[in-house]
Amino acid sequence: MGKNKKILVTGSSGFVGKKLVEKLEYLDFKIIKADLVECINLNNFNEVKDIGEFDVVVHLAANTFVPDSFENPRKFYYNNINSTLNILEVCRINNASLVFVSSYVYGKPDYLPIDENHPLKGHNPYAQSKIICEQICEGYWRDHNVPVVIIRPSNIYGEGQNPNFLIPKIIKQARNGNINLKNSKTKRDFIYIDDIVRAYTMIVEKNIEGYQVYNLGAGKSYSVKEIVDIVCNFMGREITVLYEEIYRKNEIMETVYDINKIKKEIKWEPGIDLKEGLKKLT
């Protein structure tokens, strides 16, 4: 089918969605955009089923900011689960396949690095909503033969990200000369947006079959302090840094992915390390 595939991208005006649509259009895929900006309510099945025919869905649309999920859990559960259920049903009707973008769903790790077989743990409402969505995806594959690829991205960063996320917050504060953060020691696996988009594109280009799950990250973790030190070094001027050393209850101190499966099966690996990514943003 190749470039004749028609791709539905939900969340097409979002942080990752914009870049993905731009890449797929450059490669001459036929794209259908779907999110609130495009006036489609993904929670309304009547609207979703009228989108038209397509071959593959990349389902990016979701409420994602974890602190907000504690403030308004019903919104996260309702929007994330209902939109996914509606997308799966139209995949069933259209004999289409789904690339479902999940999240970090492993909670406090039992071991590092974390592979795809690690137990799933809903450590916040957002992650719990994604676990439920994954279970529904598996059900549609098992019962209705809807081909599904589940992607579990690590911490994405890059140009255009919500300023409330860690890396844009650090860069903004550094430009103002004062960095004030909750803690210095937590470590995360950060992946640059261009590497994410390249992985999604490679998956779309393949003939999606069966039910597969892939971790998508850099395979290396960095602490908050390490990120701050890199950014301050790039700024090349005096910056005041304060860590309150306040840690949330049940704080996850480190996450790092085992990405061997996606390297082997999709032939993808990260191309932009953290220093290079941060250099692009500072």
CB 33 within 8 A of CB 54: no
What contacts 2, CB < 8 A, 6 or more positions away?
205
Residue 69: strand, helix, or coil: helix
DSSP 108: S
Cα 218 to chain center, whole Å?
Answer: 13
Buried b (16+ CB within 10 A) or exposed e, 120-147: beebbbbbbbbbbbbebbeebbeeeebb
CB 263 within 8 A of CB 269: yes
- Select which of 104, 106, 126, 157 is catalytic: 126
Q: How far apart are CA 107 and CA 124, in angstroms?
A: 9
126 is catalytic: yes
Active site members: 126
